[in-house]
Amino acid sequence: MQARALVQKEYEVQERLSLLGLSAEILQAAGRSGKLARLGSTPFHPKWYPGNVMYSNSLATMGQLLAPAGFQRIDPAGHPLVVNHKRKVALLVATSDGNTGNGDITQPPSTRPWKGPRTEEAVEENDLLLFPDMFDGMDGQQRHPLDGYEFWWLLMYPDEINNELRMELSRGIRMSKTRSVDGWSERIMLASQPLDEGGLTVSNSPSDDGPSDGEYEVEVTKLG
pLDDT value of residue 68? 97
**Residue 83 domain boundaries:** 5-135+145-208
Arithmetic mean of pLDDT over the chain: 85
Closest CA to 34 of 184, 183, 218, 212: 218
Q: Is 172 part of any domain? A: yes
Say yes or no to pLDDT of 210 above 90.
no
Is 94 a domain residue?
Answer: yes
Beta bridge partners of 175: 181
Q: What is the mean pLDDT of residues 187-206?
A: 69
Predicted local confidence at residue 213, as pLDDT: 43
Q: Quote the CA–CA distance of 88 and 118 in Å, as a whole number.
A: 17
Bridge partners, residue 111, by sequence: 96
Any domain includes 174: yes
Q: Is 183 a member of any domain?
A: yes
- Burial (CB < 10 A; 0-12, 13-18, 19+), residue 133, is exposed
pTM for the complete prediction? 0.83
Residue range 72-86, pLDDT digits in tens: 999 998 899 999 999
222 located within any domain: no
- For 12-16, the CB contacts below 8 A with 24+ separation are 13/188, 13/189, 13/190, 16/188
In this prediction, residue 49 has a pLDDT band, given cuts at 50, 70 and 90, of: very high
CA distance 36 to 196: 8
Distance between the two ends of the chain, CA-based, in angstroms?
A: 43
**Amino acid type, 4:** R
**How many domains in the chain?**
1
Give 92's Cβ-side CA count (13 Å radius).
Answer: 31
Q: In this predicted structure, what is the pLDDT of residue 144?
A: 63
Q: Quote the distance between the C-alpha of residue 47 and its chain's center.
A: 21
pLDDT higher than threshold 80 for residue 169: yes
- Classify residue 171: in a domain, yes or no: yes
Diameter over CA atoms, the chain: 57
**219 found inside a domain:** no
Q: Phi first, then psi: what are they for 185, rounded to 5°?
A: -85, -25
- Check residue 196 and give its pLDDT: 82
**What pLDDT is stored for residue 208 in this prediction?**
39
- Distance, CA of 17 to CA of 11 (rounded, Å): 10
Could you report the per-residue pLDDT of 117-135, keeping only the tens digit for each?
999 999 999 988 876 554 4
